[in-house]
Structure 1
Amino acid sequence: MNTVHPDIATHFENLKDPRVEGKTRHLLNDIVIIAICGVIGGASGWEQIEIFGKAKQEWFSNFLELPNGIPG
């Protein structure tokens, strides 16, 4: 059973990606979802969000693409 409400992932799918195309390793939607979950989980800053993401990578892989793992 998917524990994430589908609207969380789909809510940001139309978010315009300001990054240079071809110079990114991670999907913007993956980054946004991990950051939101990390902050809800108590992370305060990118380093803590990365630690949170790596600790929950197996769970995130159930509903995120993560083509290059957790962004770091």
Structure 2
Amino acid sequence: MRMMVSALALAALVGGAGHAATFVQKDTATLRALDKITGRSTDIDVKVGEPVVFGSLKVELQVCYQTPPEEA
């Protein structure tokens, strides 16, 4: 059975009131998949708009936002 999942990378704001994070739009994201049978994890690089198949899972990234590394 093939499952289709649309992945939407969302970031949460961290910090107190009045502290807004600066988000930068990216064209790729790295997702980590876990095989619960073997306990192995695999990193999957996904480009926006290009579906990636991992086993019976199909992932399509629609948008990706990231905060700069210097922000909390």
Higher fraction of strand: 2
TM-score, normalised to structure 1, is 0.28
